[in-house]
Structure 1
Amino acid sequence: MKNSMLRQHVMLTAFASTLAMAVAAPVQAQEAGAKADNAGFEEIIVSARRRNESLQDTPVAITAVNAAMLENKASLNVGDLTGAAPNLLITNQNSGGAAANLSIRGLTYADIEKSQEPTVGVVIDGVFIGTNTGQFLDMFDIEQIEVLRGPQGTLFGRNTIGGVINIKRSRPTGEFGGKFEASYGKFNTFATRAVVNAPIVGDQVAAKVFYFHNQTDGVYRHGITGERRGGNNNENFGVSLLVKPTDSNFDALLTVEKQVQKYDTDVSNITKTGEVFCSLIPTDQCNRNQSSDLYTVFGQPAQGNYSAPAGTLEMNLDLGGIKLTSVTGYRKSKENQTQDFDASTTDLYYVRRLQDYKQWSQELRGAGKIGNTFDYVVGAYYFKSSYNLTQYSRVFGFAPTVDPIDYDTNAQFVSGDSKSIALFGDFNWAFADKLRLSFGGRYTRDKKALSNAFATDGLIGQGSGTFKKFTPKVGIDYRPTDETMLYASWSRGYRSGGFSPRAAEPVAAARAYKPETVDSYEIGTKLDLFDRKLQLNFAGFYAKYDKLQQNNTIPGGPTGNQTVTSNVGSATLKGIEADFTLRAAEGLRINGSAGYLKNKFKGFVTQAAGPIAGVLDNYDYSGNEMIYAPKFNASISVDYTVPTSFGEVLANLGYRHIGAYDQQISSAGVTAISTATNGAVTYKVLGNDPRVRNNPQDLVDAALSTKFDLAGTEAKLTVYGRNLLNDKGPTHGFTVAGLWSFGTAREPRTYGVSMGVKF
């Protein structure tokens, strides 16, 4: 505890000192007679409110990361954004293809089931991704990423109660050119990436072709064979066509792509004495530590195969007074995955999951201005998805050579579908000098159906329901000067109700859980200082989380355990955030961020069968920590570019601190606090199990690049290192109803080299 407090104190001091230097540097430069001009300043334009506007003119908490910033850091995937924005956490989930666990301000959905949408929306070229799978993206062909913190349901898709990660990829340029890159690193990690642009019909039709490949042997070693485990092989390829007729106010962009991934699904054994499986596996595979032991695995080989084609069509028509936009998105995926969940050399719980998923979405919107003081965005949205899951389980099979498909005669079948329609509007009214009112709302109607069955037991349960909500937003901003903006806002976020996809008993399978809502209050300021050499932003927020949806893994059903989703009370979250960008000198740029988050459950009570037949005991989790909600996080990144006789040298050094956080609502033990007249006992849960706690992380990354001319093309050579302090620990921990527990490890120290050309 003392070490954690000391680490936070050191980080706060470092952040404050950096801010002080950030303020002092431009002042000293001016005092020394340096020109206070905009040299080196690049205005960042964002579309956070479906309008193109300056980052500093947007009255919401937002962090923008452009292509140059990603390249300087040698960023590989969306997980590298962790720490780049306050209170943002992204980890990889190995139980699904390209799956991500995303958390903004402590709001997250850490699962891969297709019937439940993420709390943080990932929007790619205007299309909302309806599941956690497919969200862990490559960063090579990215134009800009915007991280919007807090509910964004008014304008972005659906169920974005935590926030939105808005990803915009590059568009066809209409000129012949391209870029290629190859890299090699530790763990036999190899990647090749290519993007080629070409005109097709003059300046009216342009094409972009892209191909990404990366593979690795993985960071684990098997404790018996010594072989590398945890590897993956990922391919992403496609083509974009941009049509823009001459002398026309119309354009259309069509992108067709496919992602194919083959990956190991290894997990580490964190089962302990007292859990059933510990008495059935070798003693050296029980009671293992949560750091170095995580990188040794014992399970049988298991693998996932993920195939996901997709198409996006964006059309724009500018009618002068109003711009009409249509965004159509289609995505489907097919998964075939085995996983050894008991993570031991004893064959206790091995599954094969076959899944098919489809989603189709259509958004129509219009944006325009009325006079000089009023602008608007209005539109309609439709989303449809369906999925089928078949799970074959080998439970206490002691038959590692038998495929679960052949072993399990009572396989589980889950099918579901979802339809959503919405109408939305967002308005700005400059009603007085330097004052602007922002307001809007979204009406959403969701309809869901889910069916759970087993091959021999037949239908377990099914349900269907309709959930609807109006979610308003209102805010005001004030600009006393051109360099200062103050704002305040209130918004309501909504996440649809539904049914439990892993329920295995009739009552649990047929019972709907209700929608959850978040009321978020925010105040902030955005400052452009010293002739815009320093941008400094602050935000404070308070959020009330009601009818909280929570997954609980409990005993029951043919496989011995089931996961049931229910509404379990409320929670409050409050925090402060700061970020800055300093252009301290020619070629020198410093970015920093810090976030503090405090959360508390209220009325978080669940029920489970007790020793008295027909009587349910109560379990009060109100004292537990919310998951994926570190109390403190901070980062600082320095980019320095030096011109040379042959080109330029670019250096990047970054440090990220991520505080401790829990990864699952679980139990570290209980104590009885009361007994009802019918014998029902109410227990107080004594916090989350320590094994699902992620230790504080201190991550140091660095990259050194040189750009030079190579046979008339621009070439770039980069040497990079990640997690240079070799900070080891978990990314995921999970306990299963007193039976066993498993986890996954984060990437240890790694390094590599890349070579690329651009023409």
Structure 2
Amino acid sequence: MTSRTPLLAGAALLAIAALAQRAQAAEDAQRPGQGAADQPAAATGGARNGDAIVVTARRRTETAQDIPLAISVVGGDQLDSTGSFNVGRLQQLTPALQFYSSNPRNTAVNIRGIGVPFGLTSDGFEQGVGIYIDDVYYSRVASATFDFLDVAQIEVLRGPQGTLYGKNTSAGAINITTNQPTFAFEGKAEVSIGNYNFKQAKAVVSGPLSDRLAARLALSSTSRRGTIYNVTTDQWLQSQDNIGLRGQLLWEPASDLSVTLVGDYNEQNALCCGSVFVRAGATQRPLNRQYAALAAAQNYAPPSTDPFDRLSDLDARLNAGNVIGGVALKVKWDLGHSNLTSITAWRTWDWKPENDRDFTGLPIVTLSQNPSQQNQYTQELRYTYSGRAVDFVIGAFAFDQRIDTQGLEAHGSASSQWSITPSNPLANDPTVLDGLTARNTQYLKSTSLALFGQASWKVSDAFTIQPGVRLNYDRKEGFYERRVFTGEGTELLGSETDARSVAQLGIFRPQLSAPRASNWNFSYDLTLSYALAPDVLTYATYARSFKTVGINQNGLPTDAAGVPIQAAGQIAPEKVNHFELGIKTQFWDRRATFNLAAFRTEIKDYQATVTNGQFGVLRGYLANAGKVRTQGFEADFSIRPSERFNAYVSGAYTDATYRKFVDAPCPPELSGGSALAAGQTPGAPGTPGGPSAPNCDISGQRLPGVSKWSVSFGAEGNAPARLLGEDGEVYFGYDGSYRSNFSSLASPSAYTWIDGYSLSNFRLGFRTDNGLDVFGWVRNAFDENYFEQLFVGPGNTGLIAGLPGDPRTWGGTIQMSF
């Protein structure tokens, strides 16, 4: 955080408060008294019912302060005003949420530091954070990279939620609710423009088709020029090009029965995903095989050694074509004190990537493509009951998924000199590896069946016991085949012994594997809550949860002889023990809210993505770490003293570490040297040619992607005004966030720590009661330089590339509701 950031942020908050105080003083002079203001949100904002924030986190309508659960609620209006149009932006408003994306497929959404293994994605494991849109489970995190479309509210639930939701969620859930069809005509239109040629348009229309049938149609389009300039291709990388469409039909044949049919289509065609040179660190490779020597041998230099010049020279084709869509049918039967709900859904995902995996402008890796197609079917049946003493939900869930992938990887003319030991004469022959190609064919079949339920027994007006149970069955079946061809088209079978073939097999080796696994799991939780006073709720939770069995779907790691290690095909389920204490309070006539939660989650057999930097082996695969623990506390405070002013601050302290991981891959500075002989001591970090241990003990070190401290804060003030003949209010808002440093590699490295940073966003606008809202905005107002991720280049050369976060952006938005 720069020294000027907190000072300017504090000045902004004071300005907002002063504006609101003057406006309120003027109003108070005109009226004798003032009633209680709306209840502020626990974190930011949400849908309101009177003076309460209404949520459906427990599959029934409740207020956020009445449920014994750590939850952050963000309303659709807050999303629009802060420019949080996807989950990536949402993390700036919810400190316990972490989001990382090097491309749509390699996207991680974590809560409290756990959920998805950090690194290249494998289809063979489950998500620990469930993403639900209108009760439909989205199995791929890639969906999180699309724009939110006609969202009413987002609820971020922290901690295991497997006894409430169809698909098991061991770390938490993101419950997204969209606006539903209405029998009264309404609509909304929004247009935004900004620098970097940013253009965004949204439109929604809803209304009756008959007295029993209503429809709602929403669409959005977002485009923006990239922020990284590629000097090789004369293109701007990291662009945005998204289109979204969502249609709904609501049929109410009777007052107690509703049937909703939903279809959506989302397409993304960004020029993505690029990187910039960040640094070169010393490894244990021989000096002539480290980055500086290899680059000098080919007279190569990056376009800039300052990553925030935002210059790249990637020479391979880049693309992030992405199409996601689906159809869902929801039937709800109101039985008075109970409801019976059925959700049937089909979802599809078509991913068409092109990458440059050597992170340089040299033709080393010239093709890296793993296009895949997914089809997913889900069926959920849920029965909920609400009574005077007992509430409960019971459900059944079925999930079936197939993913097919056709991979293509190829090396170019610069690969021989870069990848083959300089003492080998073949290193000077560019034809050895030029055109060397691996063709990968794989599929995954995944099935999951579950019964789940949770009850709330009101022992007294103050004391409630809430148990929950889940029974889960999972089966996975995979197939992986890699065939290798020389530049001349000859297939290598892996048994060749001539020097040329041996060098080629050092880059790609044929492999065939068909891992499969199945597993039963029983999990449960228990929450005790006690109301110390009408607006003070305390609770304690214990949950025994799991993440289901996994398989290494992208191929298996190999032994020293290059033989696949079959035992690595199956990854043991995670075993999760979760403890949480919390208190939820409101005071000052419910103008202020303060919530506090403390948690501790222990995971045995944690499913981690590990990386081996050498060519010729897998870039990433799954393995079980012995034990992981995440613990900490979270606090949310919000205040709304009047309709003229509101403010919030939310903070999280997260201590997430490997408690036992003794055979983890070593970081770059401890890799690449000679094999460690018996009784020999590994070389010091970054010692050229020193002996390297085959694995490293990283027990006690921090999990990747997790900041110890993360804070979100903001405020908005308004005052009555008249503009262009319209009565309304002028408002000024500020939203800020801060996160401390974090590791960008599963095995923490001195070269891949990302410094902490702070972001500040401002908005100034005018809105009226008849639905007009016009405002200007600036995001990352102080132009903070920061990284979203750092990447380790292949081959343990010491090359570190990175993805810079967005620079300052600004623009304006016009909204009209009718």
Pairwise same-fold verdict (TM > 0.5)? yes
* Aligned mates of 1:597, 1:260 — CA distance in 2: 35
Q: Which residue in 1 is equivalent to 2:259? A: 252
- Displacement, 1:442? 0.9
**Relative to structure 1, is the Cα distance of residues 387 and 509 closer, same or farther in structure 2, using a 3 angstrom cutoff?**
farther
- Displacement, 1:186? 1.4
**Relative to structure 1, is the Cα distance of residues 722 and 297 closer, same or farther in structure 2, using a 3 angstrom cutoff?**
farther
Alignment of 1:414-425 (within 5 A): 414-425=442-453
**Relative to structure 1, is the Cα distance of residues 440 and 295 closer, same or farther in structure 2, using a 3 angstrom cutoff?**
farther
Q: Is the 8 A contact 2:231 2:311 kept in 1?
A: no
**Relative to structure 1, is the Cα distance of residues 147 and 141 closer, same or farther in structure 2, using a 3 angstrom cutoff?**
same
Q: Is the 8 A contact 1:717 1:756 kept in 2?
A: yes
Q: Which residue in 2 is equivalent to 1:660? A: 741
* Match 1:480 to one of 515, 519, 532: 532
Q: Does 1:357 align with 2:374?
A: yes
* Aligned mates of 1:57, 1:378 — CA distance in 2: 21
**Relative to structure 1, is the Cα distance of residues 407 and 235 closer, same or farther in structure 2, using a 3 angstrom cutoff?**
farther
Q: Which residue in 1 is equivalent to 2:308? A: 292
Q: Which residue in 2 is equivalent to 1:402? A: none
Q: Is the 8 A contact 1:65 1:145 kept in 2?
A: yes
Give the secondary structure class of the aligned counterpart of 1:592: strand
Q: Which residue in 1 is equivalent to 2:637? A: 580
Q: Is the 8 A contact 1:553 1:737 kept in 2?
A: no
Q: Is the 8 A contact 2:198 2:225 kept in 1?
A: yes
Q: Which residue in 2 is equivalent to 1:201? A: 210
Q: Which residue in 1 is equivalent to 2:268? A: 261
**Relative to structure 1, is the Cα distance of residues 138 and 581 closer, same or farther in structure 2, using a 3 angstrom cutoff?**
same
* Aligned mates of 1:510, 1:539 — CA distance in 2: 38
Which AA in structure 1 matches 2:441?
F
Q: Is the 8 A contact 1:492 1:519 kept in 2?
A: yes
Which AA in structure 2 matches 1:313?
L
Which AA in structure 2 matches 1:580?
F
Q: Which residue in 1 is equivalent to 2:675? A: 611
**Relative to structure 1, is the Cα distance of residues 200 and 330 closer, same or farther in structure 2, using a 3 angstrom cutoff?**
same
Give the secondary structure class of the aligned counterpart of 1:627: coil
- Displacement, 1:52? 1.0
**Relative to structure 1, is the Cα distance of residues 311 and 692 closer, same or farther in structure 2, using a 3 angstrom cutoff?**
farther
Q: Which residue in 2 is equivalent to 1:679? A: none
* Match 1:745 to one of 792, 798, 804: 804
Which AA in structure 2 matches 1:495?
K
Q: Does 1:756 align with 2:815?
A: yes
Q: Which residue in 1 is equivalent to 2:685? A: none
**Relative to structure 1, is the Cα distance of residues 172 and 498 closer, same or farther in structure 2, using a 3 angstrom cutoff?**
same
Which AA in structure 1 matches 2:193?
Y
- Displacement, 1:698? 0.7
* Match 1:326 to one of 342, 345, 361: 342
Q: Which residue in 1 is equivalent to 2:772? A: 715
Q: Does 1:342 align with 2:399?
A: no
Alignment of 1:637-648 (within 5 A): 637-645=714-722, 646=726, 647-648=728-729
- Displacement, 1:262? 0.6
Q: Does 1:116 align with 2:125?
A: yes
Give the secondary structure class of the aligned counterpart of 1:80: helix
* Match 2:481 to one of 453, 462, 470: 453
**Relative to structure 1, is the Cα distance of residues 310 and 602 closer, same or farther in structure 2, using a 3 angstrom cutoff?**
same
Give the secondary structure class of the aligned counterpart of 2:652: strand
Give the secondary structure class of the aligned counterpart of 1:455: strand
For structure 2, the residue ranges without an aligned partner over 5 or more in a row are 40-50, 284-288, 416-433, 485-492, 494-509, 559-563, 666-670, 680-692
Which AA in structure 1 matches 2:519?
F
- Displacement, 1:560? 4.2
What is the TM-score when the length of structure 1 is the normalising length?
0.87
Alignment of 1:617-696 (within 5 A): 617-645=694-722, 646=726, 647-666=728-747, 688-696=748-756
Which AA in structure 1 matches 2:227?
V
Q: Which residue in 2 is equivalent to 1:235? A: 243
Which AA in structure 1 matches 2:466?
S
Q: Is the 8 A contact 1:179 1:758 kept in 2?
A: yes
**Relative to structure 1, is the Cα distance of residues 486 and 612 closer, same or farther in structure 2, using a 3 angstrom cutoff?**
closer
What is the TM-score when the length of structure 2 is the normalising length?
0.81
Give the secondary structure class of the aligned counterpart of 1:644: strand
Q: Which residue in 2 is equivalent to 1:501? A: 553
Which structure has more strand as a fraction of its residues? 1
- Displacement, 1:271? 5.9
Which AA in structure 2 matches 1:577?
E
Alignment of 1:512-523 (within 5 A): 512-523=570-581
Q: Which residue in 1 is equivalent to 2:404? A: 388
- Displacement, 1:176? 2.2
Q: Does 1:530 align with 2:585?
A: no
* Aligned mates of 1:297, 1:60 — CA distance in 2: 48
* Aligned mates of 1:7, 1:360 — CA distance in 2: 51
Which AA in structure 2 matches 1:449?
E
Q: Which residue in 2 is equivalent to 1:669? A: none
* Aligned mates of 1:382, 1:517 — CA distance in 2: 22
Residue-by-residue CA offset, 1:175-198 (whole Å, 9 max, x unaligned): 222111111111111111111112
**Relative to structure 1, is the Cα distance of residues 294 and 695 closer, same or farther in structure 2, using a 3 angstrom cutoff?**
farther
Q: Does 1:91 align with 2:126?
A: no
Which AA in structure 1 matches 2:531?
R
Q: Which residue in 2 is equivalent to 1:307? A: 323
Q: Which residue in 1 is equivalent to 2:418? A: none
- Displacement, 1:582? 0.6
For structure 1, the residue ranges without an aligned partner over 5 or more in a row are 400-405, 667-687
- Displacement, 1:310? 0.9
Give the secondary structure class of the aligned counterpart of 2:301: helix
**Relative to structure 1, is the Cα distance of residues 420 and 561 closer, same or farther in structure 2, using a 3 angstrom cutoff?**
closer
* Aligned mates of 1:244, 1:410 — CA distance in 2: 55
Give the secondary structure class of the aligned counterpart of 1:628: coil
Which AA in structure 1 matches 2:351?
E
**Relative to structure 1, is the Cα distance of residues 454 and 71 closer, same or farther in structure 2, using a 3 angstrom cutoff?**
closer
Residue-by-residue CA offset, 1:696-734 (whole Å, 9 max, x unaligned): 11110011221248xxx7332221110011111211122
Q: Which residue in 2 is equivalent to 1:369? A: 386
Q: Is the 8 A contact 2:37 2:642 kept in 1?
A: no
Give the secondary structure class of the aligned counterpart of 2:142: coil
Q: Which residue in 1 is equivalent to 2:760? A: 700
Q: Which residue in 2 is equivalent to 1:216? A: 224
- Displacement, 1:564? 2.1
**Relative to structure 1, is the Cα distance of residues 650 and 183 closer, same or farther in structure 2, using a 3 angstrom cutoff?**
same
- Displacement, 1:490? 0.8
**Relative to structure 1, is the Cα distance of residues 140 and 459 closer, same or farther in structure 2, using a 3 angstrom cutoff?**
closer
**Relative to structure 1, is the Cα distance of residues 437 and 82 closer, same or farther in structure 2, using a 3 angstrom cutoff?**
same
Q: Is the 8 A contact 1:294 1:744 kept in 2?
A: no
Give the secondary structure class of the aligned counterpart of 1:689: coil
Q: Name the larger-Rg structure.
A: 2
The number of equivalent residue pairs is 710
Alignment RMSD = 3.2
**Relative to structure 1, is the Cα distance of residues 262 and 476 closer, same or farther in structure 2, using a 3 angstrom cutoff?**
same
- Displacement, 1:305? 1.3
- Displacement, 1:408? 5.6
Which AA in structure 1 matches 2:642?
A
- Tell which deviates more after alignment, 532-541 or 299-308: 299-308
Which AA in structure 2 matches 1:549?
Q
* Aligned mates of 1:509, 1:336 — CA distance in 2: 31
- Displacement, 1:541? 0.9
Residue identity over aligned pairs, in percent, reads 25
* Aligned mates of 2:758, 2:97 — CA distance in 1: 15
- Displacement, 1:252? 1.2
